[in-house]
Amino acid sequence: MSPATKPRAPRRAKPATLRVLVMRAAGTNCDRESGFAFEQAGASAVTLHVNEVLRRPAVLADVHGVVIPGGFSHGDDLGAGTVFGTKIRARLADAVRRLVDRGGIVLGICNGFQVLVKTGLVPGFDHKLDRTVTLAQNLSNRYEDRWVTLEATTDRSVFLRPGERYRVPVAHAEGRLLPLDERTRKRLHADGQVALRYVGPDGGHPAPYPFNPNGAVDDIAGITDPTGRILGLMPHPERHQFPWQSPDFHRDGAKETPDGLRMFQHAVEHLRRVF
């Protein structure tokens, strides 16, 4: 058989590019780290100012995930995450919901968590935008910048694996999660929407200060929505995506996969299954 007539081996289809939108605002300062963490996990990241997304909300139909990074959006002038959250709640909530309904993900880190709380996307009971939790001033009455240990306490979130622990930093002054009332607190637990809890020195609860750095109710560090595809958390997983970022690096050596990066990898694994 001549080379011209020799059958060619079928080409392998290239995996679809997974695109994550990093949505920033004036005062956001963790957008590059957050986007790079998704890139390390195997997705591509594009950064847009929220005003650009407001002008072209159709861009949310062209991505598979959204991350709202940490920082001090709009200077926290009207309260942490208030302005950013109001913009999303008023004009983008439906588009975000459509993204999640088709299997996409939303991640809010620190100030991004505050934004998600202000929108009502988390906890999002009954898929409504009711604001049933808040993130209040730290009980220490100071800005907390330290490393903490988290434990994944739900099997609902696509970002987490139940029982996994993550050593990551916090950097916030308003991170104390408070439910609206006792009924809300109980429902968060009953519905599996308590995603992450601070772990005390003995590995359990309650976690005293500084292991729970802000005094959050029930040591709650992060919550998910009912679908498990929206996650808000106060600590910064994007700040532990390289082994040498950990304060334990020189003592314990390098982990094969840094703790914070695992959350992004789990999320991308979910996106690959869906898309």
Catalytic residue numbers?
A: 110, 236, 238
**CA 275/CA 221 separation, integer angstroms:** 29
Phi, psi angle pair for 152, to nearest 5°: -75, 125
Residue 259 DSSP SS3: helix
Question: What span, in angstroms and rounded, lies between the C-alpha atoms of 188 and 223?
Answer: 8
User: Rounded to whole angstroms, what are the CA distances from 142 to 15, 25, 201, 221, 257?
Assistant: 47, 24, 22, 17, 32
Q: Is 28 left (phi over 0), alpha (psi -120 to 50) or beta?
A: beta
110, 121, 118: which is closest to 69 by C-alpha? Answer: 110
Residue written as tokens 């990898």? Answer: 265
Residue 22 CA to residue 30 CA, distance in Å, equals 10
3-state helix, strand and coil shares in percent for the chain, rounded to the nearest 5: 35, 25, 45
